Amino acid sequence: MAGIVSRLPFPLSGRADSAVASYALNGVQYDIAIAGMPWLIKADDQAVMTRAGAPVRKEQVDQQQEPGEQSLASWWLRSQSSFIGGAGILYQDPANDNQYAIRYADSVGVSPWTNGKVTLLRETSQRIIDGTTDKHHLVGWSDGTDRYWSAVGTALKSDTGSATTTITWGGAGTIRSLTSDGTNYYAADSTGIYRGAGNGAGSLIWNTGSANTTIRWVKGRLMAGIGPSVYELTTGGPALPVAKFTHLNSAWIWTDIAEGTNAIYASGYAGSQGAIYKFVLDTSGSVPTLSSGGILAAQLPRGEIVHCMTTYLGSFIGIGTNRGLRVGEINDNGDIQYGPLLIENSNGVKAVAGYDRFFFAAATNAIEGKSGLYRVDLGQPIQDNGVSAGQRYAYATDLQAKVTGEVSAVTVFGNSDRMAFAVVGSGSYLESASTLEASGYLTTGRVRYNTLEPKLYKFATVRTPVSISGSVSLSVLDPGGAETSIITASEGSSVLIEDVALSTPALPVEWLALKVTLGRSPSDTSAGGEITGWQLKALPGTVRQRIFTLPLSCFDKEKDRSGQMVGAEGRTLARLEAFEQIAARGDAVAYQDLRSGLSYLVVIDNYRFEQRTSPNNNGSRWGGTLWVELRTIADVVT
């Protein structure tokens, strides 16, 4: 083989910085250069040079059992038609447990708890005004008329929602705790425990002598946590009987008492240590009796203390702590298995009640900075790790007081489906029987289609009933923090939120979220906006790659466009070997069009060498056409 008489424009070994290697014309008028190697284009009627856009969607096979958005072509789609999974997700992305299909990011003033629709919640009204810093206590009751007892400071009142009655309860100190057996109230101050029927006057029945007193009517008996001791108050008085249990730490404070199927539970804390104890019922006799001695049923993590708790349906227990709300379950032994914090609130949760299939818990300064309630759906687990303690349940913010302050109490209003709650420094609030909130909204999770690549969000749809009551408005939230109003459909109008064009953001972004706002009807306060689902359409927003298909001359001897000869016998194989080393690395390289001066960062997708069997026009007997397919990965780099 003859020696190579012209310099190779690229090293044959070693890992050169091929991404930035370039070639400068010097004598021979080459057409293009790849990774610093110059080439002549061999284009004619049989060998055509092409430029084309690279495909942006890969071919895929849909193996889902049910058809869905993944089976549709053209658009990238994301939609939702059920919201019963509640709030709390960041991204509206598919997952193995399918939470994204029923959950959303956040809501205020709306109810997602009826499958297939979102409606406005009912508003609340302030019933008993109290601007002091005293803790407010509430207990619901009914004498044929739905009512609740309200205790704050030294005052005990009964409220029907339209009229309030002040009760002479028998004591004169600040009321520390309040409970009921259904018809009688029991109020405790630092002196004693007082009992009265309905709105009637009360009288002292037990002496306490402690400000740290918690009383609850459970399992057909009055239980009291007084100082570090727990008492069963059934007969006798006013002197206290022998305590059923006294904590070894004299600084222990009992915070709440609740009942399970076969036990009574008492929560408390000392310093940074909180726990729940159980007192087992002995049912061997004709009348169930309470065993002496408390048994540890649940230990809270150090630094977390129990403020309140309630059991529900014999199985669930809601535990309000200084960190938020936990939901646990009671096993067959009466022990409590609780899950991780379901709701985190730096102000703590100091009140929780159960009704229907829900827990209602204190949401102190947690609804746009104002106070109200959370609602937890015990019938909708959203995560199950295979054990009951690992279950998490759907939740969302609920009723609003629209004032700041600690929510210290919550109760069911008599025998109704309405809730009452109290805010320290403001008073008690009662849910309306029919009047809806003036407005409320739901924010979806961030729709990013499971990729960080930018997207072009083009159209949005919000499904509503055929006849709209109130109003439904659509806004978009973008990564820059902007909220842009898109469209409003109002009562009596013919406007439909169907494939509405999204004019913002104009540039591709990683994600977008929708905010749907519902408004109350101006003609009927019990009617308002409603949605049944939404859909978002987008396109890939990455810069479209280009494919260059180049027929390159690869002969021992070649002639450039000015007629100058270059090369020597044996040159073809050496150039092929050098090019194949570049292609084998798979690295990005510079592609220069030496005729136009443009340069691109590309990868070599494929190449193919076709050897000629006859000499070329320059008399070279060995060589052929090197077909190279290049795909851009960046815009022009020089």
CATH number reported for the structural domain that contains residue 521 in this entry: 2.60.120
398-453 confidence digits (pLDDT tens) = 999 999 999 999 999 999 999 999 999 999 999 999 999 999 999 999 999 999 98
How far is CA 268 from each of CA 34, 209, 254, 274, rounded to the nearest angstrom? 75, 19, 4, 6
Q: Is 233 part of any domain?
A: yes
Query: Quick one: 270 and 185 in the same domain?
Result: yes
Q: Is 309 part of any domain?
A: yes
Confidence of residue 313 (pLDDT cuts 50, 70, 90): confident
Q: Is 602 part of any domain?
A: yes
323-349 confidence digits (pLDDT tens) = 999 999 998 888 898 888 999 999 999
Query: Quick one: 509 and 559 in the same domain?
Result: no
Query: Quick one: 83 and 220 in the same domain?
Result: no
Residue type, 184: N
User: Which of 506, 540, 574 is a domain's end point?
Assistant: 540
pLDDT at 7 over 60: no
Averaged confidence pLDDT in the chain: 89
Query: Quick one: 404 and 552 in the same domain?
Result: no
User: Which of 500, 516, 540 is a domain's end point?
Assistant: 540
Q: Is 515 part of any domain?
A: yes
8 A C-beta contact, residue 454 and residue 422: no
Residue 496 confidence (pLDDT): 86
Query: Quick one: 622 and 522 in the same domain?
Result: no
Query: Quick one: 271 and 150 in the same domain?
Result: yes
Confidence of residue 287 (pLDDT cuts 50, 70, 90): low
Task: End-to-end CA distance of the chain: give it in Å, rounded.
Answer: 39
Q: Is 325 part of any domain?
A: yes
Q: Is 121 part of any domain?
A: no
Domain boundaries, position 338: 128-436
Higher pLDDT, 494 or 161: 161
CATH code (residue 199): 2.130.10.10
Higher pLDDT, 124 or 15: 124
Residue 548 confidence (pLDDT): 94
8 A C-beta contact, residue 82 and residue 101: yes
8 A C-beta contact, residue 110 and residue 121: yes
Is the N-terminal amide bond of 551 cis, ω within 30° of 0? no
Query: Quick one: 185 and 324 in the same domain?
Result: yes
Confidence of residue 583 (pLDDT cuts 50, 70, 90): very high
Confidence of residue 65 (pLDDT cuts 50, 70, 90): very low
Higher pLDDT, 16 or 542: 542
pLDDT at 43 over 60: yes
Residue 67 confidence (pLDDT): 46
Query: Quick one: 426 and 485 in the same domain?
Result: no
Q: Is 116 part of any domain?
A: no
508-532 confidence digits (pLDDT tens) = 999 999 999 999 999 999 999 999 9
Residue 193 confidence (pLDDT): 98
Residue 45 confidence (pLDDT): 77
Alpha-carbon torsion (304, 331, 394, 375), positive or negative: negative
pLDDT at 57 over 80: no
Scored b (16 or more CB within 10 A) or e, 214-240 reads bbbbbbebbbbbbbbbbbbbeeeeeeb
pLDDT at 206 over 60: yes
Query: Quick one: 339 and 392 in the same domain?
Result: yes
The total domain count for the chain is: 3
Summarize the confidence of residues 176-183 as an average pLDDT: 97
Query: Quick one: 219 and 271 in the same domain?
Result: yes
Higher pLDDT, 331 or 240: 240
Scored b (16 or more CB within 10 A) or e, 438-447 reads ebbbbbbbbb
Query: Quick one: 428 and 474 in the same domain?
Result: no
Confidence of residue 562 (pLDDT cuts 50, 70, 90): confident
380-402 confidence digits (pLDDT tens) = 888 654 444 457 899 999 999 99
Query: Quick one: 498 and 624 in the same domain?
Result: no
Residue 619 confidence (pLDDT): 58
User: Which of 491, 522, 540 is a domain's end point?
Assistant: 540
Q: Is 242 part of any domain?
A: yes
pLDDT at 456 over 60: yes
Which tokens is 299 given? 């230990």
Summarize the confidence of residues 300-317 as an average pLDDT: 93
